[in-house]
Chain A
Amino acid sequence: MSIPNWKPLFLLAVVIAVGCAIPFMVRAYTIEIFILFMINLILVCSYRIPATTGDWSLSHVVLMGVGAYTTALLSKWFDLTIFLTVPLSAVVAGIVGFIMVTPLIRTRGFGFFIASFALGELIRLIWIKFRYPFGGPRGMIGIPNGELGSIDFFEPMPYYYFVMAVALICLIIMYRIDQSRIGKTFTALYTDEGLAESVGIDVPRYRALAFGLGAFFAGIAGALLAHRLGAVDPKNFDVTTMVYLIIWIVVGGTTTFWGPIMGLILMTFIFEWSRPLLEWRPLLFGGTLIFFLVFLPGGLDDLFFKIRNKIMARKSGAGVSDVAS
């Protein structure tokens, strides 16, 4: 234990190096895809936090929208810099998440799923209904892209590095949460709620905490998206977007931190490669979802586990299994 844990540090260094090199190797258009990918990365990892407690919500992209709208309002009205709008949006989304989850905590499983959809739609309808200040059905435009000194974040390359830095910080924090006692408590209360209560874990409080944390990071994703697009549109945060998020999660699995990330990577590839087959895309995604639900209900995450266990068994267990049989 006295040796510093160099393996994750090494991995992190490789990720940063590759991340820094990417913009120099691809076209400007591809950089945009990578920016969107990293925003989605924050989103998909933030969704896993409440999912580990067993709370699958249908309002997560709405919370992302709360972040986006907050950014739009803050930067248009108060002229705040991007370095303030992003954290403030996260805080606002986190607070809205806490308020939303207060009634939701009384429901579980499917009830939670549907109730969260209703509450999410409530927020979305408020944006559509109130032309002032939310811009009504058309949303808001003219959100500044942000700048750092003389560097304009309208250019893809600087914004790419900005998003990469934010995404890295968010992912490291979320990873720490997952590895900490709190992350383990989330999984524990899902596996056995009765036992969790009996050892003093206040289950509703921890479920609320998980939802709030998820909302906080979703808010960051929303803020980054709003600054990139320069506009927010209530349609961006409807149930269709939510379904994409759920597909990433189902394909990836939620057992480990890496599951949703793998799911997002695979589905981003499928999404980009299927551009020529635009009208077939929903069919393709639906098919992938059904394939995973039927054949790999644990997601890619689970597949990796199974393969690793097989290899381990073959390596160490050849002699043992002979004896056993």
Chain B
Amino acid sequence: MSLLEIKDLVKRFGGLAAVNGVNLSISDSEIRGVIGPNGAGKTTLFNLISGALSVTSGTITFNGQVVSGKRPSHIALAGLVRTFQRNAMFPTYSVLENVVLARHSQVKNNVFQTIFGRNQEEEEHRERAKEIIHFMELSDHQDELAENLSHGHQRILGIANALAVEPKLIMLDEPVAGLNPTETKMVTDHFRRLRDEWKITVVLVEHDMRTVMETCEYISVINFGKLLMEGNPEEVANDKRVIEAYLGSDDYDL
């Protein structure tokens, strides 16, 4: 059974259809890459799934639940969480506090209990946050302020914040954009472990071909708001249409 099912998804900005009838099906415990040249509609698709944009038509079903048209926070509560291209974190809080804060969706206490109650539950959240930080190999920086971390570590913290939601599926929006090769390796090393050790489905929306080829088992290529093809990395790399989309065809006439 597929975990994330996208049917005939359309998003129009005025006359422009940025996403024009995309069908996509992602099954449980998969590492899926979504690639495409600049302006192909990757980011729009991403924002539609995460709820940051509203869909024009079509449906998005996650874990048997229709999530299109819901607020991003509600989609996160359903277990579908996204990361950002930028370094998204709460800069004035420490790494640990960041992850504890991001565990918002797991809080069971109501407002009155939170204000007046004893902090038994908070302790549990701290313990779990420490586990997540340990998993992401950030334990050495646990008490540093997020804004003082290096670029690569900030990106990893962004993923740790997403993990705090206890997601079933994590969508990574160009996670290595703007990182140098060392930092890129540091970040991408974690993707497979997310799936292998924590059974989290990973969807990687990425521009950097190399990262996608190295990490993903199955890749969907998008061009002009439509699904161009799907296949494993070798099939994709050798597909004529994909090469054309990225490099342009050589039989152009002027």
Contacts and interface: CB of A to CB of B under 8 A. Distances in A.
Q: Do A and B come from one complex?
A: yes
Interface of A: 173, 176-177, 180-182, 184-185, 187-188, 191-192, 194-203, 209
B3 interface: no
Contacts of B88: 192, 194-195, 198
A93 to B, nearest CB: 17
Contacts of A184: 93, 97, 101
For the complex of A and B, the 10 pairs showing the least CB-CB separation, nearest first, are A200-B105, A200-B76, A197-B72, A199-B102, A195-B88, A202-B73, A197-B73, A200-B77, A200-B73, A188-B90
B64 interface: no
Contact of B81 (A180, A192, A199, A209): A199
A92 B101 CA distance: 31
Nearest to B77: A200
B164 interface: yes
B189 to A, nearest CB: 23
Contacts of B76: 197-200
Interface in B170-214: none
Contacts of B252: none
Given A199-B102, A200-B73, A182 B161 contact: no
Contacts of B114: 180-182
Given A181-B101, A192-B89, A199-B161, 16 more contacts: A173-B115, A177-B115, A180-B115, A181-B122, A182-B114, A187-B92, A191-B91, A191-B92, A192-B88, A194-B52, A198-B73, A198-B84, A198-B162, A199-B104, A200-B104, A203-B73
A275 to B, nearest CB: 40
Contacts of B116: 176
Contacts of A182: 111, 114-115
A191 B84 contact: no
B81 A198 contact: yes
A176 B73 contact: no
Contacts of A201: 73, 104
Interface of B: 50-52, 71-74, 76-77, 81-84, 88-93, 97, 101-105, 107, 111, 114-116, 122, 161-162, 164-165
Where chain A touches its partner, the secondary structure class is helix
B223 to A, nearest CB: 27
Given A173-B115, A177-B115, A209-B111, A199 B105 contact: yes
A2 B235 CA distance: 61
A195 B165 CA distance: 12
Contacts of A177: 115
Nearest to B109: A181
A196 B93 CA distance: 14
B119 to A, nearest CB: 9
Most chain A CB neighbours (cut-off 10 Å) among B50, B102, B107, B115? B115
Interface centre among A176, A181, A185 (most CB of B within 10 A): A181
Contact of B82 (A181, A187, A198, A203): A198
A254 to B, nearest CB: 13
B1 to A, nearest CB: 24
A185 B71 contact: no
Contact of B72 (A176, A191, A192, A198): A198
Nearest to B52: A194
B219 to A, nearest CB: 24
Given A197-B72, A201-B73, A202-B71, A191 B104 contact: no
Contacts of A209: 111
